[in-house]
């Protein structure tokens, strides 16, 4: 049986310090995140002080039946020179390279990812507001949820999927690669022009994705150079004997919630089918790196891609085959691996989107990023009779991703939402109830002063006289409200919690 797909999303945001002369992105990112954290300190209401640093220490896996056990811990090394905070919703918010990055808490289904991705956006919006309050008059820190500066520099939006360690990685690679290439049809955030060397705006006036220009290898460990379509980073952040975390770097940052839902939902189902050996046929493309660009550059969505050993297939045909197989998988095995109800909604929307892409993609202007972006930019282009390489269209492309509510183009396009902003506001400080993020978030809400460090798979407590105590959390599906909710409520102090966990 396929494992429950515990999911996560990491987003690096573009950042500008406007009207500040030379802008230093690392400093601006620190100012941005610190402003948010400080505002939580001051408010002193909903979210207590998430002043807890991130813990980079590796540890040996240690489990008990609840997945929570105690080790007398070694002193953690805490990274202090760059901001690196853990929030009470279980997320990590930090400076990565020269970008603010937010990693969602672990989520147990694709709709929960949409909720926490929206919460992440709201956290960034609030961070901008707070940061700008502290800046000299006229200056402003602005973040963009996109993946490129249009000059050849790219930053990532990564997805994470918990997988069964026993599934051979070679099978994962061969069976998921065609999905990564063909899912671009609905996950793309759209881009005016191309950043690939030698591509003119006549050749590529507009393409489906932000990221296709930047992939140069099929499989590999890199994320910053020679980016591979399938990334091999093997860092489970969980019991490494049982689990693998598939770290997916080949997606775009989506503003459309439907696109995020489909991106994570379809990929999670495909990975369940890989684990259950349910994909009877795998397409082997003759040249995946070439194919990923061919799909992204082809607005007709009809371009045939060469198969290894002869013949061709289109991205839509590949997607229909994955969909058909997923529909049958759902009938045979159910979709508990991503939640039955949510899984059925993924299938329904998947079919709807493929049908519309096949007949008239413009029907999806209220659902998919690339279509919404294309419609407004092309409409502007036609009205003003502009060429595709006009700077006004490039500016609109960037402004589509502007996170300021007053400037965001995306928010003016009437794109369908799947979660309420009110719920997302709650999710800015409340963890999901159904993964170990619950334990992390609730402990931070209650005992932030006693927690010296945290990371995905452990937390370190300082309860006074005793040595620091590390609580390993090697099971991502444990530490949920169902497992530890009443325990956390009953404990008055963190010392009591540690005592009861240890007994």
Which residues form the catalytic set? 96
Tokens of 374: 């294309």
Closest to other proteins by CB, 131 or 488: 131
Cα 121 to the center of its chain, rounded Å? 11
Smallest gap from residue 137 Cβ to other proteins (A)? 19
Q: Which of the stretches 10-18, 30-38, 83-91, 423-431 binds other proteins when contact is defined by CB under 8 A?
A: 10-18
Q: How far is the CB of 29 from other proteins (least distance, A)?
A: 10
> Minimum distance between the CB of residue 414 and other proteins, rounded to whole angstroms?
8
Distance CA 238, CA 413 (A): 40
Residue environment code for 80-94, b if the CB has 16+ CB neighbours within 10 A, otherwise e: eeebbbbbbbbbbbb
Q: Tokens at residue 328, please?
A: 């049958």
Looking at residues 170 to 229 of the shown chain, list those that interact with other proteins (rule: CB under 8 A).
223-224, 227
- Tell me if residue 229 falls in helix, strand or coil: strand
> Does 302 participate in binding other proteins (rule CB under 8 A)?
no
Task: Evaluate whether 128 touches 32 at the Cβ level (below 8 Å).
Answer: yes
Q: Which two tokens stand for residue 309?
A: 């050993």
The answer to whether 293 and 212 have CB atoms below 8 angstroms apart is yes
DSSP element (H, E) containing 452: strand 451-455
- The residue range among 94-102, 132-140, 162-170, 254-262 that interacts with other proteins, by the rule CB under 8 A, is 94-102
* From 47-55, 81-89, 96-104, 237-245, span contacting other proteins (CB under 8 A): 96-104
The token pair at 229 is 């379509």
**Whole-angstrom distance, CA of residue 208 vs CA of residue 252:** 10
Please identify, among the stretches 169-177, 276-284, 466-474, 477-485, the one whose residues bind other proteins according to the rule CB under 8 A: 276-284
Q: Is 155 in the site for other proteins (CB under 8 A)?
A: yes
For residues 351 to 380, the per-residue mask of contacts with other proteins, x marking binding by CB under 8 A and - elsewhere, is: ---xx--xx--x------------xx--xx
Closer to other proteins at the Cβ: 121 or 450? 121
For residue 263, give the 3-state DSSP assignment: helix
User: Which x/- pattern, by CB under 8 A, does the window 98-117 give for other proteins?
Assistant: xx-x----------------
CA neighbours within 13 Å on the CB side: how many for 87?
Answer: 31
By CB under 8 A, tell whether 324 contacts other proteins.
Answer: yes
Gap between the Cα atoms of 111 and 135, Å rounded: 36
Binding residues vs other proteins (CB under 8 A): 12, 14-16, 25, 96-99, 101, 144, 148-151, 153-156, 158, 223-224, 227, 249, 279-281, 317, 320-321, 323-325, 354-355, 358-359, 362, 375-376, 379-380, 383, 390-392, 394-396, 398-399, 406-407, 409, 412-413
């Amino acid at each position: 049986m396929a494992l429950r797909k515990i999911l996560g999303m990491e987003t690096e945001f573009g950042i500008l310090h406007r009207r500040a002369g030379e802008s230093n992105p690392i400093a601006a990112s620190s100012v941005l995140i610190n402003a948010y954290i400080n505002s939580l300190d001051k408010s002193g209401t909903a979210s207590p002080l998430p002043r807890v640093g991130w813990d980079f220490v590796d540890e040996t896996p240690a489990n008990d039946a609840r997945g929570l056990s105690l080790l007398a811990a070694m002193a953690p090394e805490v990274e202090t020179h760059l901001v690196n905070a853990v929030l009470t919703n279980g997320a990590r918010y930090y400076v990565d390279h020269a970008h603010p990055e937010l990693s969602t808490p672990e989520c147990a289904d694709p709709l929960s990812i949409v909720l926490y991705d929206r919460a992440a956006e709201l956290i960034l919006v609030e961070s901008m507001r707070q940061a700008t309050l502290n800046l000299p008059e006229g200056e402003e820190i602005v973040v963009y949820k996109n993946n490129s500066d249009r000059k050849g520099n790219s930053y990532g939006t990564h997805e994470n999927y918990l997988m069964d360690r026993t599934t051979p990685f070679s099978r994962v690679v061969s069976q998921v690669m065609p999905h990564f290439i063909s899912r671009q049809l609905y996950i793309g955030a759209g881009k005016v022009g191309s950043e690939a060397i030698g591509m003119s705006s006549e050749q590529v006036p507009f393409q489906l994705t932000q990221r296709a220009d930047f992939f140069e290898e099929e499989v590999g460990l890199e994320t910053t150079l020679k980016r591979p379509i399938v990334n091999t980073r093997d860092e489970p952040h969980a019991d490494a004997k049982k689990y693998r975390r598939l770290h997916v770097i080949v997606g775009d940052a989506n503003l459309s919630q439907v696109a995020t839902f489909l991106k994570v939902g379809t990929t999670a189902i495909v990975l369940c089918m890989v684990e259950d050996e349910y994909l009877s046929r795998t397409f082997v493309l003759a040249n995946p790196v070439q194919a990923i660009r061919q799909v992204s550059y082809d607005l007709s969505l009809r371009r045939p891609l060469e198969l290894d050993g002869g013949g061709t297939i289109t991205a839509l045909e590949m997607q229909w085959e994955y969909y058909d197989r997923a529909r049958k998988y759902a009938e045979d095995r159910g979709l508990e691996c991503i939640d039955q109800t949510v899984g059925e909604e993924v299938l329904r929307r998947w079919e709807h989107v493929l049908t519309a892409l096949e007949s008239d993609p413009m029907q999806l202007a209220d659902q998919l990023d690339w279509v919404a972006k294309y419609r407004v930019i092309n409409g502007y282009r036609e009205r003003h009779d502009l060429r595709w390489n006009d700077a006004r269209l490039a500016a609109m492309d960037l402004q589509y991703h502007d996170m300021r509510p007053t400037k965001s183009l995306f928010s003016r396009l009437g794109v369908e939402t799947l979660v309420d902003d009110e719920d997302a506001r709650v999710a800015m400080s409340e963890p999901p109830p159904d993964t170990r993020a619950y334990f992390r978030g609730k402990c931070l809400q209650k005992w932030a002063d006693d927690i010296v460090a945290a990371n995905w798979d452990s937390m370190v407590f300082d309860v006074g006289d005793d040595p620091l105590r590390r609580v390993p959390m090697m099971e991502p599906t444990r530490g949920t409200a169902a497992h530890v909710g009443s325990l956390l409520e009953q404990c008055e102090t963190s010392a009591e919690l540690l005592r009861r966990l240890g007994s």
